[in-house]
Amino acid sequence: PEVCTFCNESFDKAASYRRHMASHLSVELHQCVECHKLFNNNRQLNFHMKIH
């Protein structure tokens, strides 16, 4: 099975695994660690981080 590298949850179906990973990526890579504001992409997030 596919195992999530973020939370170690395992998935029998590759499709469920990809959907699960996408949920992590959208939340964890594009969320400000300081104020938890969400961004559509890393470029916006990096730009935002300059104000902290």
Contact residues toward Zn ion (CB under 5 A) are: 4, 6-7, 9, 32, 34-35, 37
Distance of closest approach, residue 48 Cβ to Zn ion, in angstroms: 5
Q: Please classify residue 4 by burial: count the beta carbons closer than 10 Å to its beta carbon, then call 0-12 exposed, 13-18 middle and 19+ buried.
A: middle
Nearer residue to Zn ion within complex by CB, 7 or 15:
7
Contact by Cβ (8 Å): 34, 52: yes
Distance of closest approach, residue 11 Cβ to Zn ion, in angstroms: 9
Distance between CA 34 and CA 49 in Å, rounded? Answer: 8
Nearer residue to Zn ion within complex by CB, 27 or 35:
35
